[in-house]
Amino acid sequence: MSEPSLSKILYVEDDHDIQVVAQMALETVAGFTVSICSSGEDALEKAEAFSPDLILLDVMMPGMDGPTTLSRLREIDALATVPAVFMTAKVMPSDVERYKELGAADVISKPFDPMTLGEQVKKIWSLSLER
C-alpha cells in the first residue's frame, strides 16, 4: 500500500488579502488544490464535500474562531483525523502548546513566507503521518 499524498487543502481565513497570497503560494508555487473558506461556518458547509488532505485554519476570525472551527470539524466523521494546522501571529510557546492540545499538528506563524509555505505544509503533513 502506498503512502497517501497531500494534494487538497481546505484553507479557512477571513482576511481576503491573506487568502490571495496563501492561495497563490499553495496552488501556483506548491501545486496543491485549495478550497478557500472565509469563516468557520463556511468551512463546516464545504469541508466534507471537498474531502481535504489537510486543513489550514486562521485562529482569530469573527464569529467562529479557528479552535472552535477545528472542534466542530472534528465532529464530522470523514474529517476527524485530517491533519490540521493553525496559521496565526499568536505564536508564543504557550499559545502553540494550547493549539497542539486542541489537536493541531503544528502552527505556522504569520506573516508567512509565500515561497516556503508549501514546503512548510508538506513537512508538517509528513510528520503528522508518522504519529
What is the domain partition of the chain in residue ranges?
8-118
Q: Is the pLDDT confidence value at 130 over 90? A: no
pLDDT, tens digit (0-9, with 9 covering 90-100), for 47-71: 999 999 999 999 999 999 999 999 9
Q: Is the pLDDT confidence value at 34 over 90? A: yes
Quickly name the fold that domain 8-118 has: Rossmann fold (3.40.50)
Distance CA 43, CA 60 (A): 14
Distance CA 69, CA 20 (A): 21
- Prediction pTM value: 0.94
Average pLDDT over the chain, rounded to an integer: 94
Q: Is the pLDDT confidence value at 4 over 90? A: no
What's the confidence (pLDDT) of residue 3?
A: 57
Res. 1 pLDDT band, cuts 50 70 90: very low
Run of H or E including 128: helix 117-130
pLDDT, tens digit (0-9, with 9 covering 90-100), for 67-96: 999 999 999 999 999 999 999 998 899 999
What is the grid cell recorded at 20?
490571495
